[in-house]
């Protein structure tokens, strides 16, 4: 960044289902870290602090027409007018880069009709909208007192994302017009944890073993469960004091978020009316489909695990009429003759659903989460943990809260108010205090390829090479850091010297490898893969080749990996490019 103390921090929480931005000035943060402005969006007749992560792009394939609720409504209008076929409409597209081993700058995305655009275009247009929206809605209030270099932009990503996915998001933000040196990547559960440490106790709902509630005192340890729309991130933190935290267990989780519940509800409706009818309804009555799904989004937060109850959903009249037109049957009578006859009732457009059915919408997602939490609780790193803090939009669901309490009765289960905004607000705090996470745990073993003296009977013959100094074994995995190893913020590892090979050489490149195992032998072992490539450029050529050496250090402990190169004979730090994208 061009200044250590930016005038303002603007955070963008780019979610799978919902996104938004928030900001605060340095003065506001100093006055109270939780004092900030959160964007409000208009969705139907309601104000919402988040908007759907929905992008509508014009037929030219590059120009953004609308984002969020406006994109949903505009696309519905285009469908009703029969003018939508050439437009590009993307919903919930963030998961396309989750755990994608083939992610590249050229990765393509399909919209809901199968038309494709570069993923970089879709992501950058969404971020560009957020950037411009801030400029329009907030910057004008500052009366020209702020320039681009005075803003620290923070972009959130799940903690379980790999380096290529983080680099993809960074490049999308830069393409959107955010200065690279003014951009920081924040890990979602870490941002949430920072905010929670500033919230007063009255802003939490606490269940379970409440007598042990000492979560934010120095030395206390807790699980942070960030349940969003797409992914569920789980990490473990210890409070070290002074507003700082350290990670005790590597970030883990999976694709178990709220959209799995939405998908189960959708399949339930399809089973009632039949897939061809639902497909036709979706194409011809997009606005009614939106109302159906938006209504479920509200209802799913209220459903309870233990309570026997009836939940009422509004079924679009257009869907009921379409069913009757296509089948010649009355939907109410068909339900009465189905396997659901004792658990469903349709009264006009109100579908009354027994809790035995609604609980089923959550089964797969909640089972994945609770099973993982139970396994995690057996880990040695969790000794002394007394609380689980639940954040993220899906954590507002009472059924998920009750399930977490049931699977961990010895712990306090803590849910902050407005759990869906905790990551966004925490990202603003992170922008003001980027050194707040003082220690992290490696998710992988990192290393480079190398060679060592060949040992017959130990090394693979296929990797043997003859050299002037004797036989060597190639493709050895030279470990730099190990999975589950604790690394301090900005900790340098490796510090190896490389000699250059050619007189006119002014660049040097080498690949970085990762493994899920602790001590791989070869870069070709199962679980090993090339993560990316490091290139050092603009090397000095003014001295003889024999005197030209470069010291390499890999800097871990931050949200993104960094590499530093120093030329031995001049002390000059050379330009380094770490490229994780193909």
Tens-digit pLDDT profile for residues 392-436: 999 998 889 999 999 988 899 999 999 999 999 999 999 999 999
Q: What is the pLDDT of residue 3?
A: 44
Q: What is the pLDDT of residue 176?
A: 97
d(CA 555, CA 549): 19
Q: What is the pLDDT of residue 128?
A: 98
Confirm if 73 and 65 have CB atoms less than 8 A apart: no
Q: What is the pLDDT of residue 235?
A: 94
CATH of 8-187+420-439, one of 3.30.420.40, 3.40.640.10, 3.40.50.150, 3.20.20.80: 3.30.420.40
Nearest to 522 by CA among 568, 565, 462: 462
Tens-digit pLDDT profile for residues 246-274: 999 999 999 999 999 999 999 999 999 99
Q: What is the pLDDT of residue 1?
A: 39
**Residue ranges of the domains in the chain?**
8-187+420-439, 442-579
Helix (H, G, I), strand (E, B) or coil at 522: strand
Nearest to 408 by CA among 194, 222, 572, 267: 222
Long-range contacts of 21-28 (CB under 8 A, 24+ apart): 21/130, 21/133, 21/134, 21/424, 22/421, 22/424, 22/425, 22/427, 22/428, 23/134, 23/138, 23/428, 24/428, 24/432, 26/432
Q: Report residues of the chain scoring pLDDT below 50.
A: 1-3
The interaxial angle of helices 317-327 and 275-284, nearest 10 deg, is: 130
- Domain 8-187+420-439 shares a fold with domain 442-579: no
pTM: 0.89
| CB proximity list for 399: less than 8 A, separation 6 or greater | 300, 303, 304, 305, 359, 362, 366
Q: What is the pLDDT of residue 517?
A: 94
Q: Which runs of consecutive H residues, i.e. helices, occur in 197-302?
A: 259-273, 275-284, 286-300
Q: Which residue has the tokens 């729309």?
A: 229
Q: What is the pLDDT of residue 279?
A: 92
Q: What is the pLDDT of residue 567?
A: 85
Q: What is the pLDDT of residue 454?
A: 95
Tens-digit pLDDT profile for residues 211-252: 555 668 889 899 999 999 999 999 999 999 888 999 999 999
CATH superfamily for domain 442-579:
Substrate Binding Domain Of DNAk; Chain A, domain 1 (2.60.34.10)
Beta bridge partners of 236: 223, 249
């Amino acid at each position: 960044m061009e200044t250590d103390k930016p005038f303002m921090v603007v955070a963008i929480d780019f979610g799978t289902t919902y996104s938004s931005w928030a900001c605060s000035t340095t003065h506001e943060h100093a006055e109270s870290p939780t004092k900030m402005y959160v964007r409000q969006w208009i969705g139907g007749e309601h104000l919402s602090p988040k908007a759907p992560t929905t992008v509508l792009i014009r037929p030219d394939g590059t120009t953004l027409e609308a984002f969020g609720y406006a994109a949903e409504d505009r696309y519905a209008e285009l469908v009703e007018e029969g003018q939508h076929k050439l437009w590009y409409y993307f919903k919930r597209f963030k998961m396309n880069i989750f755990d994608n081993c083939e992610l590249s700058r050229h990765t393509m995305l399909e919209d809901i009709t199968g038309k494709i655009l570069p993923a970089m275009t879709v992501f950058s247009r969404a971020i560009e909208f957020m950037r411009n929206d801030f400029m329009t809605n907030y910057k004008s209030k500052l009366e020209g007192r702020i320039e681009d270099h005075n803003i620290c932009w923070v972009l959130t990503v799940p903690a379980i994302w790999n380096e290529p996915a983080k680099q993809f998001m960074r490049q999308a933000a830069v393409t959107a017009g955010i200065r690279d040196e003014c951009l920081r990547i924040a890990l979602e559960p870490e941002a949430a944890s920072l905010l929670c440490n500033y919230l007063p106790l009255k802003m939490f709902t606490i269940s379970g073993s409440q007598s042990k509630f000492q979560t934010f005192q120095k030395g206390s340890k807790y699980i942070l469960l960030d349940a969003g729309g797409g992914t569920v991130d789980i990490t473990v933190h210890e409070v070290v004091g002074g507003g700082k935290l350290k990670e005790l267990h590597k970030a883990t989780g999976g694709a178990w978020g709220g959209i799995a519940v939405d998908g189960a509800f959708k399949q339930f409706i399809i089973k009632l009316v039949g897939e061809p009818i639902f497909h036709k309804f979706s194409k011809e009555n997009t606005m009614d489909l939106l109302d159906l799904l938006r209504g479920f989004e509200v209802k799913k937060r209220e459903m309870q695990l233990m309570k026997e109850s009836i939940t009422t959903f509004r079924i679009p009249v257009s869907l009921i009429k379409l069913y009757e037109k296509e089948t010649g049957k009355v939907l109410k009578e068909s339900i009465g003759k189905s396997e659901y006859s004792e658990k469903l009732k349709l009264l006009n457009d109100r579908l009354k659903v027994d809790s035995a059915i609604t609980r089923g919408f959550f089964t797969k997602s909640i089972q994945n989460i609770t099973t993982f939490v139970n396994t995690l609780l057996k880990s040695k790193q969790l000794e002394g943990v007394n609380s689980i803090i639940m954040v993220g939009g899906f954590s507002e669901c009472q059924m998920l809260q009750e399930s977490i309490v049931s699977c961990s009765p010895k712990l306090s289960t803590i849910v902050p108010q407005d759990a869906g905004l905790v990551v966004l607000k925490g990202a603003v705090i992170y922008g003001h205090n980027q050194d707040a996470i003082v220690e992290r745990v490696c998710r992988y073993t990192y290393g480079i390829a190398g060679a060592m003296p060949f040992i017959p009977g130990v090394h693979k013959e296929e990797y043997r090479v003859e050299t002037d100094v004797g036989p060597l074994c190639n493709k050895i995995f030279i470990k730099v850091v190990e999975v589950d190893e604790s690394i301090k913020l900005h900790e340098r590892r490796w510090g190896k010297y490389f000699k250059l090979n050619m007189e006119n050489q002014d660049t040097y490149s080498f690949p970085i490898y990762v493994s899920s195992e602790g001590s791989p032998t070869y870069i070709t072992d199962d679980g090993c893969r090339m993560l990316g490539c490091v290139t050092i450029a603009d090397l000095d050529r003014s001295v003889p080749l024999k005197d030209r050496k470069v010291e390499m250090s890999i800097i871990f402990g931050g949200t993104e990996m960094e590499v530093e190169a120093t030329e031995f004979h001049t002390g000059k730090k050379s330009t380094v490019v770490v490229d994780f994208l193909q």
